[in-house]
Structure 1
């Protein structure tokens, strides 16, 4: 019965059950780093000789680690400014009317920078060491400045929506009524 079953299998199914033999490696093409050859033991002897010649990677010095941490901190500090073009386009496209989408955009435009400014120390504590504390102050100030630019984008949006009291008519409730100097009476 099994002979009948194997004969009735399509060729692609037989190929799955019996994969083709491994093709031998062409001479002159080295193995990638970290992937030893699975060929004969003579190939592994050559590989062991190569591995013994390469020195292990030395640990970075504290100065190199501080430089690397400072570079990563600058990447974090400039991160908020990278998302501003897309946020600005989305705010522009959402329009200036009071709708749920534009209100959510304005909420997020204020929430994210404020939370970023409040969490400045937590964002950079993993990069800060005793030797790079002065340089990290510059990075933190740049981060706060980028968050302030993001906050200014939110202010631009609510001004466009007419929610900022920037005109005289917005303050009419606090103005007193003018006293008329003259009165005009219509004639018959």
Structure 2
């Protein structure tokens, strides 16, 4: 029994046209001017793209971009405030594992953020940006403290902060007047 070789299927037309070199321009097409911002001499890059690539290499422009990115990172905790506030409200004020874990996570994030403030902004620090980064770091720390304040509010709403005089009644009977404590030592 003889087997006949399978005829390979030719590739589709679009694949052949895509891989083929561009046809030469006709005389009529050569007379059409390039659109604004396009030049064949620059390889298709627009003037704005060429200026952006050369401007990014300047140190002043690089420092401006670094400070802009540092501001984005500094304002990132402020975007978490509404989400965390809604989650704290929805978790309720009872002492359950879910609400306790939510409060733990709310305290954990800002504390880690405060500890790592200098390392977060270390990649943006240079001679030209050092003075500007002080304000950026201050805003970042302020946003972390706002998140911590949200956590304190939640702990107070759960009744875990001793804010009333009745919370201290257990220690009221153990307290001795200063005169008695002083004479007891002598």
Same-fold call, TM cutoff 0.5: yes
Please name the residue that 1:28 is paired with: none
Aligned pairs for 1:1-188 within 5 A: 20-22=12-14, 38-42=20-24, 50-52=40-42, 54=45, 57-58=53-54, 59-176=56-173
TM-score, scaled relative to structure 1: 0.70
Cα displacement (A) at 1:23: 8.8
Name the SS for the 2:124 alignment partner: coil
* Cα distance, 1:173 vs structure 2: 1.7
Identify, as 1 or 2, the structure richer in helix: 2
Distance 1:19 1:103 in 2: 63
**How many residues are aligned here?**
152
Deviation at 1:52, TM superposition (A): 3.8
Structure 1 73/2 Cα, relative in aligned 2: closer, same or farther at 3 Å? farther
Question: Could you tell me how far apart the structure 2 residues matched to 1:23 and 1:123 are?
Answer: 48
**5+ unaligned residues in a row in structure 1: which ranges?**
7-16, 26-35, 178-188
1:13-39 CA-to-partner distances (Å, cap 9, x unmatched) read xxxx666422999xxxxxxxxxx9844
SS in 2 for 1:22: helix
What residue ranges of structure 2 are gaps of 5+ in the alignment? 31-38, 175-186
